[in-house]
Amino acid sequence: MAKRPVSRWKPAKLKREETPLVVYLSAFLLGIVAYFVVGELVLGSRPHPVHWLAGLAGAVLGVPMGWLWYRWRGDVI
């Protein structure tokens, strides 16, 4: 009986990297700024959940901005 050829190709292991600190910082800071500026100053007379939505929208916007910063400038540490 002949031996079957064995493939020596091994799938490359994915190198898992953690999310850079600048992404977390930009999401946090933009969320806080959006909460205070938009939520408190602009929408001060609206119900409180609108303030939370403003902070959440700022944090969601901060994530891609943090990735762009990391791509252009690198991490903050």
Confidence of residue 1 (pLDDT cuts 50, 70, 90): low
Give 20-59 pLDDT, tens digit per residue. 999 999 999 999 999 888 878 877 787 778 888 889 999 9
Backbone angles phi, psi at 8, to 5 degrees: -95, 0
Domain ranges of the chain: 21-73
Q: Model's pTM, two decimal places?
A: 0.69
